[in-house]
Each structure stands twice: as structure tokens, then as C-alpha cells.
Structure 1
């Protein structure tokens, strides 16, 4: 018997999870990407790109494809997609699981200021001009136009279009993972005073946090949004076990 699974992806873990599930002979898998990245990493599983049209559209897709399971493996800050996924699963009567990597924890020596959003991060930079490393991608950087006195280094996977409306900004196109030693070199080269980052969790982008700690540089951390309360796991191994349990016949689950 074959089981149809839809993974909402966009993270390294989603790609790794998809590869492991696709290797199972009894699973038909589709990996869905939102399409926000212009040149996503090539996937080794059947993939669709683009939105569904909100929760209702996703629910319709789940019904049309006769999905047996929905997995939300999107970025920890993709709050709208996660909310739509939870609603769609309820509308369609399809089980949902989430892969949610833990956030970073403050370590001794970290000089963190925690804020709720990009606007709060821009305000937290203060009035005096500073050299700021914006490691947020390109989706939320418009908020920093409210603080044009700073000199920004903006790193993203794709070009920022339109360019940020501030007088002092340098652009850096790069895709992680980023090693701590390389991040330390980058911060020193650009004489960085403060790093602005989401609390993404994981190892791929932690290098800038560790480098800032080693150099005594301030970090403005944007807190994670509140996500729907659905069954979730912090890692791939744990989620695979939950998938096996979810797809097992009810009589075999021991419940």
C-alpha cells in the first residue's frame, strides 16, 4: 500500500527529510517550495514550486491528490505558511506533522538584544550611526529604511530588488552554510558594530552568532513567531518515527 505525503519545504532539513522518505518504497512524495528563492538548490524528489492560494487552496490540493499526510518543514519564521498548513490539514481531514528545529540559546559572552520584528530591530540600532550586518535575507529588510543613518552590509541568496532605500549599503550574495572562521573574517573586514539576525536555529547559519560572541559584537535577535500547536519534532530522526507511527494502521499503533 502506498502513502502520499506532501512536504512544505524550503529548509535544509526539509530536503534531507524528503530524501529519506523518498527512499521508502511505500511512499509517494511531493516536496513543495514557496518560490521565494530565485535559484533554489536542486531537489532529488518530485517538486512543485509556488503557493496554493491560502489554507483553502492547500486543503483542495490535499483532497485532489488524496494526500495521507502533510508535513510542515518550512522555515521557523514562515508563520503564515505554517498557519495555513494547520488550517488546511483540518479542512481536508489530513494528519499534519511539523519539523521544528530548536532556536539558539544565549551563551555566556553573547551580547543579545531581543526584539519582536524587523521594525523593532531597526529601532534597537539606536540613533548614532553604526556599521550593521543584516543577515536576514531580503524579505524584511525594508524596515531598515527607517534608520538610514547606519552603514549596512546586507547578505542574501538573491539580489534585493528594489535596492534598499538608504545611502550607505553594501550587498553580498551568498548561500550558507557559513563557517565561524569565515564569519569572523567578514565581521572584521567590514568593521561591524552589530549583527541583526533571526533566531533561525541549526548549525548552517550559527557561525555569525559564534563569531560575534568571540569578537564582543552586539547582536540584535528577532524572536521567533508563535506557530500553530501541531504534533512536531525537533529533528529528522524524531519526525521519521512520527511519520511511521502516523501511517501505521490504527490497529497496529497500540492506541
Structure 2
């Protein structure tokens, strides 16, 4: 059975690792190519887009794919929609793997917003110094803001950025102690982040909680209607074996 795994997430890499060690499974992992030095999974890897849902449908047929696993970032809405549409057109099963989102805890001051535009509007009234941890692609939504921004990303933003900012290039995991020191040193008033889930970057939430800082939390986009979703590697592996 030939499997296309979409995504450069930890979940995608772990599924590729497990399936590559099992007889009867052939794995191809696909990365978007947006990170300059990605952590690569085991097995065959392709990098780059497919040309929309129709391009992906054609690629699936041309490459003899039997099953599609969408283990992309929870905010990669475009490829998720394309995967669902292309798999349906090709008559292939598709599974969406999404790690659980973060849960608000006692002492948190979260403000949920549906998208980047709403985050930029909301943050305007919450303080002068903003810690922006949304990756490089959404930074342009804040380009017109008058506040000062600490922008943390793996690679530099390619689009417009706020006039007053500091760019911090770093890849998680981050410790609570380091995040607390960063927030204190930069005199941060408010944190802006996406509900990505996972442990690699969760420490910033604990640090914000300890410092009683508000957190503008961008909510995840919904999955396509009728999508089959699991939250764990074990559940994904159970589903995959059922397709064999």
C-alpha cells in the first residue's frame, strides 16, 4: 500500500517512521517547502506544492497512491482542503491527524479570535509591546500596527512587517524559565499566538500565565465537512492498518 503523508510536523514524521518499518507499506512524505532547513522524515520526500486540488488529484493517480494522511500544521487550511477534495475525487481514503489544541487553565487571560485580522484588531488595545509567535507567514496582518513587536519565527518573514519590531529567529522547544525571562527582558505586555497545540512551544503560555499577561489566541480553522480526524499517532496507525 502506497501512502502519501502531507506535512512536516512531528506527527507526520512519526507516522512515516512507524509505517516505513512495516512490511507492505511504501511511504512518500510531502513538505510545503516553507521552512528553509526542515527536519526531514524517514523515507522518500518531495518538497513543494501540487498546483491546487486538481494538481494533487493528478499527482495521486500518476504516483499510484492508495491512502492519503493529512498531518499538516493545524493552520495549514489550504492544503487540508485540497487533500480532502483531491482524495474524494480520486476515490481514496484520507485521514486528518490533528494534535489536541491547548486548554485554558486557571490564571490564564486568553482572548479567542477567529483569524489574524481579528488578532491585529484586538491586540491594539492590550498594550504597547507585543510578543508575536504565529510563524512568519501571518506577520503582514500586523504591518500597519503602531505598537512594538517581538517577532519570533524559524525563518525571516518575506512580506511586510510592523515598522517597530525585533526579529528573533529560533526553533522550539522552549523552556518556561527561558520564556519567562524573554517576556520580562523585553517588557512584553501581550502575547499573540495560534492554537497549534503540542509541547514544543507551550511554555510561552505558562510564562504568560505566571506574569498575568493577556494572550490573544487565534482559533483553528475548521476541517472540511465530513473529515475523518484523529488526535494521536496510535489512532492514526490503527486507521492506517484498517486500510491495508
Q: Please state which band the TM-score falls in when normalised by the shorter chain.
A: over 0.9
How many residues align? The count is: 243
Contact 2:8/2:40, CA 8 A, preserved across alignment: no
Question: In the alignment, does 2:158 pair up with 1:161?
Answer: yes
CA drift of 1:227 comes to 1.1
Distance of 2:118 and 2:94 partners within structure 1: 33
Over the residues paired in the alignment, what is the CA RMSD in angstroms? Answer: 1.3
Q: Which of 83, 105, 109 is the equivalent residue of 1:85? A: 83
Shift of 1:165: 4.0
What do residues 21-78 of structure 1 show as CA deviations (whole Å, max 9, x unaligned)? Answer: 1111211100000111111113322100000011111111111111110000000011
Q: Deviation per CA, 1:133-170: give whole Å up to 9, x if none.
A: 000111011011121x211000010012245141x100
Report the equivalent of 1:192: 188
Question: Would the aligned equivalents of 1:117 and 1:222 in 2 still touch at CA under 8 Å?
Answer: yes
Label 1:101 to 1:74 Cα distance change in 2 as closer, same or farther (>3 A): same
TM-aligned CA deviation for residue 126 of structure 1: 2.5
3-state DSSP class of the match of 2:143?
helix
TM-score with structure 2 length normalisation?
0.96
Segments of structure 2 that go 5 or more residues without pairing to the other structure are none
Pairs within 5 Å for 1:230-245: 230-245=227-242
Query: Any stretches of 5+ residues in structure 1 without a counterpart?
Result: 248-255
Normalised to the residue count of structure 1, the TM-score between the two structures is 0.92
Give distance in 1, aligned partners of 2:42 and 2:167. Answer: 31
* Higher alpha-carbon deviation: 177-186 or 81-90: 177-186
Q: Deviations over 1:98-153 (max 9, x none)?
A: 11111111111000111111111111112575110000111011011121x21100
Q: What are the residue-to-residue correspondences of 1:5-24 with 2, within 5 Å?
A: 5-24=3-22
Cα separation, 1, equivalents of 2:116 and 2:93: 33
Report the equivalent of 2:179.
Answer: 183
Contact 1:129–1:151 (8 Å) recurs in 2: no
For 1:58 and 1:125, locate their aligned partners in 2 and report how far apart those are by CA, in whole Å. Answer: 38
Task: Find the partner of 1:217 among 201, 213, 218.
Answer: 213
Write out per-residue CA displacement over residues 170-217 of structure 1, whole angstroms, 9 at most, x where no aligned residue: 000011122222111111111111000000011111111111011111
